[in-house]
Structure 1
Amino acid sequence: MAVYITDHSTSVLKTHSWRTASNSAAYLLPHITPTSKILDIGCGPGSISVDFARCANHGHVIGIENVPDPLDQARHLAASQGVTNVDFRLGDIHALEFPDNTFDIVHVHQVLQHIADPVKALCEMRRVVKQGGIVAARESASMTWYPENPGIGNWLEITQRMGKAKGGNPHPGRYIHIWAKKAGFDLANIRKSAGSWCFSTPEERQYWGVSMAERVLFSGLAKTAVEEGYATKEELERISKGWREFVEDEQAWFGLLHGELLCWK
C-alpha cells in the first residue's frame, strides 16, 4: 500500500537528514514532555526522531520505516550524538505492531501523501495513541519559487503525475484534517496550523537546489520516471540544470507550505 515514488538513495537521505524537530515539527514541540513516549513513523535517517528523544529525555522514542535502508544511518546518528532513549525498527503504518493506547504522541512528517490509504493509517495511529494523547501530522500543501524556472516547473508536474498514477496524494496538506475526521477524531479535537520552509540564502539554495538536482538524476525517482515513461533522461537532465540555475541565482528563492495537524484522542 506504499506508493513512495523514490527510494532512500544517498541524494534522498541528504535532503531528509536536513529535517529537524525545530524546522519540521515546531508545532508539536510544546506538547512533548520529558517523559513522553513517542512513535515517529517514517523516521528516515532519524534526524527528527533524535531531536524528539532529546526533548523527552526521560521518555522514549521509537522510529519506524517500512524498509531497512535508512535505519542504520538513523542508529549511527543517535549513537554519534550520545542519544540512547531512541531505537529504530521496521514497521508498517497500516498495521502497527503495538498494543492499543501505547504512546503519548504518534507523529508523521510527509508520509501520508505517499501511501494509498491515509485514513486507515490515521486509524492505526489513533489506535496506538493513549487516551488524551496526540496524533501529529505535517504534509506539504503547495510550492512556489522565483524566478520562473521551466526545469523546476517540469519537476513538479512530473512528480505530481507519478504520485497520483501510483495511488498517492501529492501535497495534501490543505485537506489532511478531512482524513483525520474520517479516522474517528472529533472535529473539536483537531487543531490545524501551517508551517513553511524557505530556501533563499546562498547556503540554503546550495543545500536544497543541489540536493534536488542530484535526486532527479540519481535516485529511484529517476529510475522509475524513465523506465515507466513519465520522463526521458533528457528531460530529467534539463530539470537538474534548472535546479542548478536556481542555486546560482542570488535573487532566487523557493518556498514550501505545509499543513499541520494536532489530533487529541
Structure 2
Amino acid sequence: MSSAQPTTYTQGHDKSVTANHARRTAEQSGSFVLPHLKPTFKILDIGSGPGTITFGFAKYVPQGSVTGIDLSDEVIAQAEELLSQQDPKPKNVTFKKGNVLEGLPFKDGEFDVIYTSQVLIHIHDPVTALKEMKRVCKPVTGIVCSKEGDWPLRYVPYTRGLQLFHYWFYQMIHGKAPEEIRHPDQAPFAPGHRGGSLLHVWAREAGFDPKRIEKGASVQVYATEEQRGFYAEGMVKRIVDGGHGEKFKSLGATEEEVQEIVKGWREWGENVDGWTATVDCEVICHN
C-alpha cells in the first residue's frame, strides 16, 4: 500500500512533545484492553511513541510478547532508552520502525491484539490503516483496539489564546480547520468532524462487522494546580521549543497570534478555575 500524502507525525517527536506521551501507561490508556489479555498473547502497539504503554502491557503477557511500531528512528530511540531504564527490564518487548499505511512487516494473522492510542486521528487515511491492522490480527479470536481523542476540546476558561491554539493545532494535524474553532461564538462545532467519535465508523468501513465492534469512551481531567502546571508548561514548550509555533506560522498564523497562544496557556495554567476534560473514544473490534 502507498499513500500520496506524507505520513509523518505532524506534531514531531521533540521531547517537549513526547514528554506528555511518556506519562501514559497501559493501565490508564489501555484499561479497556486489559480484561481481554491472556498471558500468551502477542500484542502489536502501532504508533508506540516513547513506549510506556508498550512495555506497560508486557507484564500482562509474560509468556507472550509486545511489539511497538513507529515511524521515526528518533522516537524509537527514546522508547528503547526508557525501556532500558525499567527495573526489571521486560524481556518480551521490541521496537521496530514501520508504517501502517505502507504495509506492516508481519504476516497475516500474526497478532492476538492490535492496539493504537491517539494514532488514527493523526492519519489522513484511518480506514486503510485499520484494514492493515485487520490483516495482521488473528481471525475470529483476535481484536483490534483503539483509543482516540475527540473534538471539541473542552477548556475553562476558554480564552482567545486557547481558541487560536486549537484553530492552528487542528489545521496542523488535519488540514483546514472549521472557522467555528477560531470563532466559537459563531457556530457549534460538531463532534466527530475528524475525531475519535468516528472510530466505529472507520472500523466498519475497514471491514469489521458492526455487531462485533464494542464502543466506549473515557474522560481524562486536568484540574489541580499540579496538573494544570504540567499541562500548560508542556504546551508552551511544544510551541516555543518543539517547533509548533513555527509550524503554526507556516500555516498562516501571525507572530502576534503565536505569542497570544503562549500567553493563553500560561494564564490558564495559573488560573485557579482552570479545567480541561479530554474525551477519548474507544473501540474493540473483534476480527
TM-score (norm 1): 0.94
> Secondary structure of the residue that 1:257 maps to in structure 2?
strand
**Residue 70, structure 1, aligned to residue 36, structure 2:** no
- 1:170 deviates by 7.3
Q: Which has the higher contact order (CA 8 A, sep 6+)?
A: 1
Tell me, yes or no, if the aligned pair for 2:41 and 2:65 is still in contact at 8 Å. Answer: yes
Tell me, yes or no, if the aligned pair for 2:42 and 2:64 is still in contact at 8 Å. Answer: yes
| Equivalent position to 2:266, from 244, 250, 253 | 244
- Counterparts of 1:130 and 1:254 in 2: how far apart (Å)? 38
Q: What aligned pairs does 1:64-103 form with structure 2 within 5 A after superposition?
A: 64-81=69-86, 82-94=89-101, 95-103=103-111
**Residue 35, structure 1, aligned to residue 45, structure 2:** no
> Secondary structure of the residue that 1:116 maps to in structure 2?
coil
- 1:117 deviates by 1.2
- Counterparts of 2:76 and 2:161 in 1: how far apart (Å)? 32
Residues 4 and 63 of structure 1: is their aligned pair in 2 closer, same or farther, counting only changes over 3 Å?
same
What are the superposed Cα offsets for residues 51-86 of structure 1, whole Å, 9 maximum, x if unpaired? 111221221000011111111121122221111210
User: In structure 1, what is the equivalent of residue 208 of structure 2?
Assistant: 185
- Counterparts of 1:244 and 1:80 in 2: how far apart (Å)? 32
- 1:171 deviates by 4.8
- 1:36 deviates by 1.4
User: In structure 2, what is the equivalent of residue 139 of structure 1?
Assistant: 148
- 1:225 deviates by 1.8
- Counterparts of 2:65 and 2:235 in 1: how far apart (Å)? 33
**Deviant stretches of 4+, over 6 Å:** none
> Secondary structure of the residue that 1:240 maps to in structure 2?
helix
> Secondary structure of the residue that 2:146 maps to in structure 1?
strand
Tell me, yes or no, if the aligned pair for 2:145 and 2:285 is still in contact at 8 Å. Answer: yes
User: In structure 2, what is the equivalent of residue 224 of structure 1?
Assistant: 247
> Secondary structure of the residue that 1:174 maps to in structure 2?
helix
- 1:125 deviates by 0.1
**What code does the residue aligned with 1:158 have?**
W
What are the superposed Cα offsets for residues 128-177 of structure 1, whole Å, 9 maximum, x if unpaired? 0112111011111132011232211111111112333289x975111111
**What code does the residue aligned with 2:38 have?**
T
User: In structure 2, what is the equivalent of residue 107 of structure 1?
Assistant: 115
User: In structure 1, what is the equivalent of residue 15 of structure 2?
Assistant: 10
Tell me, yes or no, if the aligned pair for 2:172 and 2:251 is still in contact at 8 Å. Answer: no
User: In structure 1, what is the equivalent of residue 172 of structure 2?
Assistant: 162
- 1:181 deviates by 0.5
Tell me, yes or no, if the aligned pair for 2:174 and 2:194 is still in contact at 8 Å. Answer: no
What are the superposed Cα offsets for residues 107-129 of structure 1, whole Å, 9 maximum, x if unpaired? 11111111121111100000001
User: In structure 1, what is the equivalent of residue 189 of structure 2?
Assistant: none
User: In structure 2, what is the equivalent of residue 51 of structure 1?
Assistant: 56
User: In structure 2, what is the equivalent of residue 176 of structure 1?
Assistant: 199
User: Among the aligned pairs, what percent are the same residue?
Assistant: 37
- Counterparts of 2:193 and 2:227 in 1: how far apart (Å)? 24
Q: What aligned pairs does 1:200-215 form with structure 2 within 5 A after superposition?
A: 200-215=223-238
> Secondary structure of the residue that 2:272 maps to in structure 1?
coil
- 1:39 deviates by 0.4
User: In structure 1, what is the equivalent of residue 280 of structure 2?
Assistant: 258
Residues 243 and 170 of structure 1: is their aligned pair in 2 closer, same or farther, counting only changes over 3 Å?
farther
Tell me, yes or no, if the aligned pair for 1:5 and 1:221 is still in contact at 8 Å. Answer: no
The answer to which structure has the higher strand fraction is 1
User: In structure 2, what is the equivalent of residue 150 of structure 1?
Assistant: 160
- Counterparts of 1:30 and 1:60 in 2: how far apart (Å)? 17
